[in-house]
Amino acid sequence: MSMLEGKVAIVTGSGRGIGREVALQLAGLGASVVVNDLDEGPANEVVAEIKENGGEAVACPGSVTEPGFAARFVGTAIDTYGDLHIIINNAGYTWDAVIQRMTEEQFDAMIDVHLKAPWRILKEAAEFIRVKSKQEVHDGVTIVRNVVNISSISGTRGNAGQTNYSSAKSAVVGLSKTLAKEWGRYNVSVNSVAFGFIETRLTEATDEKKIIEIEGKQIPVGVPVENVAASKMMIPMGRAGRPSEAAGAVVALCLPMSDYISGQMVEVTGGL
């Protein structure tokens, strides 16, 4: 029997990068997964890959910041699979500038996607979890649910050019620690994982100007080659992390042997 068989998971931003690896790993351990991405194509591709490997998944594409998304996302899990056990708030991006050049639009965008969107999803799930947990206790059944909110060492340590992103990611840690205290009585463990330098499309080493479009905004991505080399030299393990390794830390906090870990922030940095 797989460790997560019978569990239902929702993962934001799981069409690409770290989120994709989280979805694949959860499914590989037996969980049914609701896959989300801003774009329908990547979400459907991950669902197809999970099903090809014998797993169960359904897509729920769309922006985590759009009105009504939280209800649609949580509702997809409950309507499709009848339950909800694992919530992974992973979706996000960076939009950098030093403070004197940063606009309020840039600041608000980071707060909305990295802090407010996870808060909305958790709030939407709250009543279902409360009622379900009380029924399980009444029935003499103990089922632990797990929440992992993704932070960053930019939030735990700060990073130049990211007052917006760092502020949001720091707040994610506070959100997680507080919710651990509120939801402990419902047998829910709530933790955050703060990533260091992980290889994704947002951190690709490049000296070319690369742009992605997010909700009509032109967002520069990639890191200058020289900066990437300098960053790797500071990491004791001598390299950036792989998405699968980053995902592994998230999934580890959803396994039964981690059920009593709650209210913690784990940094995944290769020893930085």
Query: Would you please indicate which residues are annotated as catalytic (active-site) residues?
Result: 165
Residues 6+ apart with CB under 8 A from 36: 10, 11, 12, 13, 14, 15, 19, 43, 59, 60, 61, 62, 64, 73, 91
Judge contact between 196 and 215, C-beta under 8 A: no
Q: Which two tokens stand for residue 143?
A: 């089922």
First to last CA, the chain: 37
Q: Give the other-Cβ count within 10 Å of 266's Cβ.
A: 17
204 contact partners, CB below 8 Å, separation of at least 6: 210, 221, 222, 223
Is 193 in contact with 253 (CB distance < 8 Å)? yes
